[in-house]
Chains A and B, each alone.
Chain A
Amino acid sequence: LQLQESGPGLVRPSETLSLTCVVSGGSISSNSYSWGWIRQPPGKGLEWVGSISYGGSSYYNPSLKSRATMSVDTSKNQFSLRLSSVTAADTAVYYCARHDSGLPLSDYFDSWGQGTLVTVSS
């Protein structure tokens, strides 16, 4: 399984960040998995952004205060992230990952993309 992020490397403050993750070597339409976004500001730790099932059920980090929206395109085997009203604090490497959330007491991100740096700056 391979995941590949793509999107603009530079976004202006107050605009919307848009990223896409193309999945290859496996189908995004699996009951067993969700698909997630995790970000990492330069020199800092990991932060979960949100996850979505192939059917479109999504859930997000509450700290993003409803700025995040994810979608799935099963015909293209890809999923996307939109983050509105960005500020410099949203500057980070954004990773997409397969999210195994099938077990009630255990879930994890078992395959990751290489990550893409998004800088928020005017």
Chain B
Amino acid sequence: SSELTQDPAVSVALGQTVRITCQGDSLRRYYASWYQQKPGQAPILVIYGKNNRPSGIPDRFSGSRSGNTASLTITGAQAEDEADYYCSSRDNTARIFGGGTKLTVL
């Protein structure tokens, strides 16, 4: 089965732009979805499909894909964006998650 690989940790200065990446063979075929998880809370969906945001997700969150790499971009990161971020995709009949990226907003 495929795997999704994420950098364990990324940091960004307040108000700057950060890109969180996710690599895996399944991403050549399937779009990634992205989840934000804050300590002690359930994950929430922030990006799905080609580049879709659920209702209530700020437009500073965007998604893209190139080859086997999906990216989540936060344009103008805010303090409240500090969280763990997980990518996920379909892999034939299974669903897989990346290991997660801890985002620190400095």
Contact = CB atoms under 8 A, between A and B. Distances in A.
Interface stretch (A10-18, A42-50, A68-76): A42-50
B46 to A, nearest CB: 10
Which secondary structure dominates where chain A touches chain B?
strand
A107 B95 contact: yes
Contact of A110 (B1, B37, B50, B54): B54
Interface residues on A, range: 20 to 34
Interface string B11-25: 000000000000000
B62 to A, nearest CB: 15
A19 B35 CA distance: 23
A26 interface: no
A51 to B, nearest CB: 7
Interface string B36-57: 0100001111001110001000
Which of A100, A101, A107 has the largest number of chain B CB atoms within 10 A? A107
15 contacts: A38-B97, A45-B97, A45-B98, A45-B99, A46-B37, A46-B86, A46-B97, A48-B97, A59-B94, A61-B95, A100-B48, A107-B90, A110-B45, A112-B44, A114-B42
